[in-house]
Structure formats: structure tokens, C-alpha cells
């Protein structure tokens, strides 16, 4: 009986040590979201505004978060964690904004809840080992970035070891923050999709995950919400195309598909003026064509592409480049082979009865000469 008592006592000490000396009954479930729906929505908006670097909108979102009951330490923890995803400059700027919001609330006599600090780590804590376990759980399988061992070490030991070990936020909380922030960045869909899977693996429910794009949309972050929804759709086994920028993607350009090589999308922005945003997937271009009775205006807003008039050298399209296409000039335009491209287009000096004359496709020989 004495031996059994000693074994039980020793086992209890091991559990307490693993929990940082706390009673196991008070330890958080790290695979469960600790925010209520209102707090989760506020945190999603906060993380997304941090990623975008929009300090004025972030200040409003932080104030709403504090009103919803998020603690100062929860907000500090979320904004500190995001340096690993959005960089130190944005993280530090966001923490500075939080400090100002707290000062303004204190001056106005509004309460803020500091909240608990992180629990102490157990003696002999191994960040690399623990981080490897956390990363494996998040990814759903072991992950080793052999191409860059130093980055692999930072991910395991620091991000998933040091940072994720801090129990101010649960692992589920941290993935909600990460998904929301990555939704605010262009060009990181592989990482966003991976973290949507990670959020589910770390305990965020389907309902809680679906609430993230709703929260972003309610905060006026429509492009970011669409990006997040696209990643969720892909993780759920569907297919989704998302705009490569904050400009709307629109619908598949089926009405003119016969005049394009590759896939394009059309978003009507202003029915009165006919202003449209046209999105070209990499390698997509329209046929040679001529506008009769109107001048076509092109304004490149995203990515890289080409505009070429018959008999002339191609002009590279980058954001800000504006082209006025004279009436009656044979030309084509489209994306570069390795880049999406978006341009706004409308007709100027249009006369009644103006038309487009669609001609032959741009051959691979002509297109492949462009670098």
C-alpha cells in the first residue's frame, strides 16, 4: 500500500510540474476557443487590421474588443504573437496603438481589465520538443522544413515552443488570431489555407471558423473576408478563386471567353460609366481587337501584364500604368506568364453605336517573346 501511495503521489507531482505548478483542475483546455462569439469577432477584426497596418481602424477595433471583455493581456499576447506572421514593425505599431487606446479609456474613466499573466513554465521546459509536438498537432502530421533548417528551428522552438506555450491564449485562440491576420495579407493563400486546417486541428469548430469571414465582413473588410472564405472553401474540399488584391474578382468572363486565351474575370464597378475591373490569370490574354467609335482606357491596379499595339513593342503593365488606346488601333492586353494582372477599363469619347472588332488570337510565338 505504501508503494502505491508513493507512485500516486509522484504521478501527481509530474502532472503539477507539466502544468507549471498549477492545480490541473484550473488549467485551460488549450484546444478550445476561450472567447465568446462577440470577443472572437472583435479579435478577428483586431488581428486583420494589425496585418493591414491600419492604425485608425485598429484603434476602433481594440476599443470594441475591450468593451466586449477582452483583457489587456489577451490583446498584448495576440499582437505580440503576430510579429511572427506580419513582422515586428506592424506588431510594435499595433502595441503602441493599444497603449494609446488604454490611456484614452483611462482618461475617460472607462474600465479595462488587465487579466491574468501567462503561467510559469515547468522546470526544464524543452521549447524545441514541445514546439515540435504542437506543430505536428497543428499540421496533422510531422513537418520538417529541410530546405532551411534555421527557419525550421525558429518555427518549432520559438513560435510553436516559446510563444504557443504561453497560456494567456489557448492554441485555438492563437489560430483564430493567425487566420484572421493572414486574411489581411495579399499573396499568402498557401499559409492561410494551412492555418485554416490548423485552426480545425487545434479545436476551433466549423461554426467558429465560419464566423471569422462574417466578422471581417461586418468590420468592412470585404476583400479580406472573401480571402478567408476562399481558404475555408478549399479546406472543405471545394474550389474557390480569390482576387489577388483588394479589387473585386467578379464573375467568370464567360460572355467574352471565346476572345480570350486563359481564364479572366469581370467585375462591373459602375454601371453608369461602364467602369469594370478585369482580372487575368497568369498567361491569360485577349485576342487582337479594335475599338470603333471610342477610346478605351486601361489603368493597371494589380500584378503585372502587357499591352501591345500592332507593329509596336509591348508595354509592361504595372500598378499605376495608364493606357489610352486610340480609336481604330489594333491591340491586345493581358497578364504576364508568371503573374496575375488586374486593370480597370472604361470607354472615353464614346460615340453612339461604338463597337469592338475581335480579331485573331495572340500567338504563343508573339506572347512568349515577352519577359
Report the CATH number that the domain containing residue 348 is assigned in CATH.
Answer: 2.60.120.10
- Which of these, 121, 123, 197, 196, lies nearest to 161 by C-alpha position? 121
Q: Are 35 and 64 within one domain? A: yes
Going from the C-alpha of 161 to that of each of 121, 135, 155, the distances in angstroms are: 11, 9, 8
Q: Are 212 and 355 within one domain? A: no
Q: Tell me, what's the pLDDT at 27?
A: 67
Q: Are 111 and 43 within one domain? A: yes
Counted domains in the chain: 2
Q: Are 185 and 281 within one domain? A: no
> Residue 1 falls within a domain, yes or no?
no
Q: In this structure, are residues 356 and 289 in contact, taking their beta carbons and an 8 Å threshold? A: yes
The vertex-251 CA angle with 247 and 253, nearest 5°, equals: 110
Reading the chain (371 residues) residue by residue, the pLDDT tens digits are: 334 333 333 333 333 334 444 544 456 899 999 999 999 999 999 999 999 999 999 999 999 999 999 999 999 999 999 999 999 999 999 999 999 999 999 999 998 999 999 999 999 999 999 999 999 999 999 999 999 999 999 999 999 999 999 999 999 999 999 999 999 998 898 999 999 999 999 999 999 999 999 999 999 998 899 899 989 998 999 877 778 888 988 889 999 999 999 999 999 999 988 999 999 999 999 999 999 999 999 999 999 999 999 999 999 999 999 999 999 999 999 999 999 999 999 999 889 989 999 999 999 999 999 98
Q: Tell me, what's the pLDDT at 154?
A: 96
Q: Are 103 and 227 within one domain? A: yes
Host domain of residue 99: 20-117+168-235
Q: Are 85 and 219 within one domain? A: yes
- Decide which of 235, 265, 294 is a domain's last residue: 235
- Decide which of 200, 235, 270 is a domain's last residue: 235
Q: Tell me, what's the pLDDT at 186?
A: 85
Residue 181 cell numbers, joined:
491576420
| Pairing mode of beta strands 341-348, 289-292 | unpaired
C-alpha 227/C-alpha 327 separation (Å) is 38
C-alpha 206/C-alpha 227 separation (Å) is 17
Dihedral angle computed from the Cα positions of residues 259, 262, 263 and 269, in that order, rounded to the nearest 10 degrees: -50
Cα-only R_g, the chain: 26
Bridge partner list, 251: 266
> Residue 8 falls within a domain, yes or no?
no
Q: Are 180 and 287 within one domain? A: no
> Residue 135 falls within a domain, yes or no?
no
Q: Are 183 and 112 within one domain? A: yes
Q: Are 255 and 228 within one domain? A: no
> Residue 143 falls within a domain, yes or no?
no
Q: Are 281 and 336 within one domain? A: yes
Q: Are 64 and 181 within one domain? A: yes
Question: 177: domain CATH number?
Answer: 1.20.1290.10
> Residue 128 falls within a domain, yes or no?
no
C-alpha 168/C-alpha 337 separation (Å) is 46
C-alpha 331/C-alpha 357 separation (Å) is 11
Q: In this structure, are residues 317 and 300 in contact, taking their beta carbons and an 8 Å threshold? A: yes
> Residue 281 falls within a domain, yes or no?
yes
Model confidence, pTM: 0.74
- Decide which of 183, 209, 235 is a domain's last residue: 235
> Residue 132 falls within a domain, yes or no?
no
> Residue 27 falls within a domain, yes or no?
yes
Q: Are 262 and 311 within one domain? A: yes
Q: In this structure, are residues 71 and 113 in contact, taking their beta carbons and an 8 Å threshold? A: yes
Amino acid at each position: 500500500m505504501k508503494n502505491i501511495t508513493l507512485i500516486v503521489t509522484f504521478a501527481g507531482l509530474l502532472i503539477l510540474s507539466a502544468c507549471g505548478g498549477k492545480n490541473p483542475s484550473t488549467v485551460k483546455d488549450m484546444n478550445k476557443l476561450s472567447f465568446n462569439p462577440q470577443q472572437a469577432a472583435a479579435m478577428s477584426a483586431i488581428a486583420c487590421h494589425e496585418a493591414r497596418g491600419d492604425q485608425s481602424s485598429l484603434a476602433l477595433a481594440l476599443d470594441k474588443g475591450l468593451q466586449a471583455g477582452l483583457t489587456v493581456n489577451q490583446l498584448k499576447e495576440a499582437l505580440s504573437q503576430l510579429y511572427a506572421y506580419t513582422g515586428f514593425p506592424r506588431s510594435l505599431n499595433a502595441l503602441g496603438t493599444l497603449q494609446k487606446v488604454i490611456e484614452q479609456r483611462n482618461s475617460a474613466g472607462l474600465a479595462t481589465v488587465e487579466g491574468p499573466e501567462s503561467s510559469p513554465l515547468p522546470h526544464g521546459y524543452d521549447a524545441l520538443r514541445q514546439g515540435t509536438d504542437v506543430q505536428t498537432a497543428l499540421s496533422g502530421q510531422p513537418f520538417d522544413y529541410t530546405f532551411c533548417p534555421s527557419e525550421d528551428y525558429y518555427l518549432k522552438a520559438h513560435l510553436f515552443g516559446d510563444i504557443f506555450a504561453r497560456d494567456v491564449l489557448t492554441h485555438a485562440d492563437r489560430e483564430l488570431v493567425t487566420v484572421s491576420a493572414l486574411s489581411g495579407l495579399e499573396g499568402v493563400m498557401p499559409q492561410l489555407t494551412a492555418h485554416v486546417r490548423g485552426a480545425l486541428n487545434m479545436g476551433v469548430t466549423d461554426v467558429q471558423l465560419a464566423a471569422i469571414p462574417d466578422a471581417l465582413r461586418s468590420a468592412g473588410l470585404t476583400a479580406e473576408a472573401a480571402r478567408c472564405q476562399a481558404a475555408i472553401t478549399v479546406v472543405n474540399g471545394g474550389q474557390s478563386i480569390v482576387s489577388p488584391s483588394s479589387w473585386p474578382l467578379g464573375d467568370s468572363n464567360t460572355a467574352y471567353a471565346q476572345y480570350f486565351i486563359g481564364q479572366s474575370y469581370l467585375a462591373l464597378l459602375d454601371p453608369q460609366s461602364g467602369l469594370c475591373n478585369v482580372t487575368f490569370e497568369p498567361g491569360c490574354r485577349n485576342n487582337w481587337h479594335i475599338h470603333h467609335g471610342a477610346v478605351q482606357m486601361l489603368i493597371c491596379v494589380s500584378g503585372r501584364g502587357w499591352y501591345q499595339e500592332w507593329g509596336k513593342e509591348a508595354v509592361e503593365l504595372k500598378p499605376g500604368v495608364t493606357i489610352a488606346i486610340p480609336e481604330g488601333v489594333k491591340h491586345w492586353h493581358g497578364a504576364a506568364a508568371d503573374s496575375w494582372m488586374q486593370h480597370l477599363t472604361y470607354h472615353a469619347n464614346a460615340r453612339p453605336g461604338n463597337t469592338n472588332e475581335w480579331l485573331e488570337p495572340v500567338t504563343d510565338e508573339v506572347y512568349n517573346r515577352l519577359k
